[in-house]
Structure formats: C-alpha cells, structure tokens
Amino acid sequence: MRGGARYFRLIEEIASNAVYSLHLQTYIFDEDETGIAVANALKAAARRGVLVYVLLDGYASQKLSAAFINDLKGAGVYFRFFEPFFRGSSYYFGRRLHHKVVVADGYYGLVGGVNISNRYNDLDGQPAWLDWAMAVEGEVAQRLDKICVRMWNRGVFAPRCLAGTIPPMSPPSETCRVRVARNDWVFRRTEITNSYRMLFSVAQKEITIMTSYFWPPQGILRRMVIAARSGKRVRVVLTGHADVPFVKFAERYLYSTLLKNNVEVYEYQRNVLHGKLAIADRKWITVGSYNLNTISAFASVELNLEVDDEMVAARLHDAVETIILADCRRITSESFVASTGVISRALYYLSFRIIQLLFALFTFYFSQKKKGS
C-alpha cells in the first residue's frame, strides 16, 4: 500500500484490535496531529491490558517532549529510545534505528518506510509524501515479533520483553512467499544489501528501483550498470523535490554515469518521494526502510519484506508504472546536459564528495572491512 491516511488508519486499526502484545519501532515520531493520533491508539491498547512497546530512534525522535513521553508511560506503554553509539543534541555519529515496523499479537504486521509525522499523512491541503508499506498476516509476523523483542531487549536498563506465546489464529485466506530481510552492518547483517547485489544478475528482463536518497555502494552501482548494458531494462525513480537539497545535488552527480550506461532515470514531481522498493520481472519485490545508499548498507538498522509472488509483484509494478507515467519526468542525457551548467556540475561533484567524507567521519568506529561492497 502507499503511505498516507490509509497507512495511519491501519496502524490505529491494528492497535485497536491487538489483544496480547503490540510493538511499534520507527525512526521519526513527531509530536504533531499524526503522532498524537497514533499515541492515543497506543495508549488505548495499553489501558486494555495489551503489552505495548515503543522503540524510537534516539536522534531522529529526540524532539518529543517529556510530557508526551510521560503521558505514554502513564497509560502503561513501555517506552524507550534506541541509543546510537555516539549521540549529542546536535551531532549524531553512525548507527541509527531506521526501520519502521508495527506488529500485533505476533500475527498482524506492517513494514515500510513511513515515519510517524504529518508529512507522511494526508492532511487538508497537504498530500502525503510518496511512500510504501506492506501489511502481512501469519507466520511472517511471528518473525517480525521476535525481531522487535530482540531490538527492545538490547536496551541495558529497559524492562525485559519476553517473546510471548503466539495465540492460535486461523491461517490467512491468501498466502505467498515472504522473507524478512534485515541490514545491521555493526552486527554483520547484510541481507537487504545482498538481495540488491543479486537482483541485477538474477533478473532476466526488467528492474525498477524507487528510492529517496540515492548514492549506492560502488559494487551495487557497478552491477546496475552491467545489467543495463547487457540489455536489461533498468529504471531508477528518484525524487524531484528533495527535503534535503544538498543530498539531491549529490544524487545528480551520478546521473551522467547512469544515463550513459542505458539506465533510465525518472524524477517524481508531485511531492517529495520517500519510498523505497525494487521490482524484478514483475515477479519479485522488496519493500521497507532500506534506501539504496551507503548509509543503509553500512550504518543503519533496516528492515524490508521480500515477496516472491507474481500477483503481488504485478500489482505493485502497475501502481509504480502509473506513478511514472502520471507524476514523473524522465531525465535524458540531452535534457540533463541542457539544464546543467559548469557551476551546477561543480556543485553536484562537491556535494557528492562531501557526503562521502561525512559518511566516513560519522562511521569511523566501524572496524569491519567492506568485503564485496
């Protein structure tokens, strides 16, 4: 599903129907209309006796007021921040909790790239940023529940959350092959990165990638170029209206490499694009929090769902195709050269190099060697 009002209605529905346990883990949780509505649903669940656990990134959600947090705790919600290795009020070094997941009773799950904030919601006169999420039921939600429990229990002073017994429930009416894929470089988890590495060699005809912040590891960029030059159709859908212009400049430094190697580049025009997904041959998809960049690959804690099912993949492909045709502008070699002068090219180059430098500085304590990146 796309983000927006439907996504937040589903969070409230999951919370209202929870009986035993409810986990919410996300990067950004803002104290605005959307955040208050979600918080009210969490508090209502806790007051019914549901064990509610909320884990938020200690940097991105640090603006939450003490009153807001105490109100959650007062209603019985277990709350804590995911603390990165080094954090200050102004600077943040390295690892962060970037995944977005909701899971109730070990049976109902919701995974995507949508944060809890007004800009991801459909409000009067303010359409949501383009984003994606996937709702699941059944066995895969048990896996999500165990992941949430383990993430919560890494807090030194947090009250222990025990993996409860999953209550018996009827099997879903429809089934498909779903894999939970994670990335957490510090703990040597690179499942999503590995999927992207394989994607360009395994796909036979077509690969479509949508991502919000694009500066892929060199190994993945090389595989992308090889796939496009071998005759596979490779499309990259990026934002045309960036929430961080500096990052957009860095992205555009890579456009020349992509375009001269037959990679199709599109910029979404309607609003900010924040979604993260990939589709291969209308048969396989990955959706979640993972951006195709070095931060997701080598720093952040990320979570995606990978689905091997032609019906699901075809539906998502058709939805993305509609967005490309209606709301995107294709960037060609001719249009890019015509719109880019010497100053712009210098700005793109400097932005890209600065991002590389900042990433190296902010993750300086990572001692792993980037094998096969």
pLDDT in tens, the chain (373 residues): 999 999 999 999 999 999 999 999 999 999 999 999 999 999 999 999 999 999 999 989 999 999 999 999 999 999 999 976 555 554 455 689 999 999 999 999 999 999 999 999 999 888 899 999 999 999 999 999 999 999 999 876 777 887 555 666 777 777 889 999 999 988 889 999 999 999 999 999 999 999 999 999 999 999 999 999 999 999 999 999 888 888 899 999 999 999 999 999 999 999 999 999 999 999 999 999 999 999 899 889 999 999 999 999 999 999 999 999 999 999 999 999 998 888 988 999 898 888 888 777 666 554 444 444 4
- Asked if 371 is an active-site residue, the reply is no
Q: Is 354 helix (H, G, I), strand (E, B) or coil?
A: helix
- Asked if 276 is an active-site residue, the reply is yes
Provide the CATH topology of domain 5-175: Endonuclease; Chain A (3.30.870)
Task: Provide the phi-psi class of 231: left if phi over 0, else alpha when psi is between -120 and 50, else beta.
Answer: left
Domain extent listing, the chain? 5-175, 178-362
- Of the candidates 77, 16, 25, the one whose C-alpha atom is nearest the C-alpha of residue 51 is 77
What pLDDT, on the 0 to 100 scale, is given for residue 83?
77
- Asked if 274 is an active-site residue, the reply is yes
Concatenating the DSSP letter of every residue in 107-175 gives TEEEEES--BSGGGS-BTTBPPPB-BEEEEESHHHHHHHHHHHHHHHT-TTSPP---PPPPP-PPPSS-
Considering the candidates 43, 99, 248, 276, report the single residue annotated as catalytic. 276
Q: Is 280 helix (H, G, I), strand (E, B) or coil?
A: strand
Q: Does the structural domain 178-362 have CATH classification 3.30.70.580?
A: no
Considering the candidates 43, 99, 100, 317, report the single residue annotated as catalytic. 100
- Asked if 131 is an active-site residue, the reply is no
What pLDDT, on the 0 to 100 scale, is given for residue 167?
65
What pLDDT, on the 0 to 100 scale, is given for residue 373?
40
Strands 133-137 and 284-288: unpaired
- Of the candidates 24, 238, 244, the one whose C-alpha atom is nearest the C-alpha of residue 116 is 24
C-beta of residue 207 within 8 angstroms of C-beta of residue 228: no
C-beta of residue 333 within 8 angstroms of C-beta of residue 259: yes
The CA-atom distances, in angstroms, between 188 and each of 104, 152, 184, 306 are 28, 19, 6, 19
What pLDDT, on the 0 to 100 scale, is given for residue 90?
47
C-beta of residue 275 within 8 angstroms of C-beta of residue 266: no
Query: Whole-model pTM?
Result: 0.91
- Asked if 105 is an active-site residue, the reply is yes
5-175 and 178-362 have identical folds: yes
Count of Cβ atoms closer than 10 Å to residue 372 Cβ: 10
Considering the candidates 98, 99, 232, 317, report the single residue annotated as catalytic. 98
- Asked if 100 is an active-site residue, the reply is yes
C-beta of residue 67 within 8 angstroms of C-beta of residue 271: no
C-beta of residue 71 within 8 angstroms of C-beta of residue 94: no
Considering the candidates 23, 274, 283, 317, report the single residue annotated as catalytic. 274
DSSP 83: P
CA distance 234 to 30: 36
* Residue spans of beta strands (DSSP E) within 240-337: 264-268, 277-280, 284-288, 301-308, 328-331
Considering the candidates 30, 57, 105, 184, report the single residue annotated as catalytic. 105
Phi, psi of 171 (to 5 degrees): -65, 150
C-beta of residue 55 within 8 angstroms of C-beta of residue 161: no
Considering the candidates 71, 122, 281, 327, report the single residue annotated as catalytic. 281
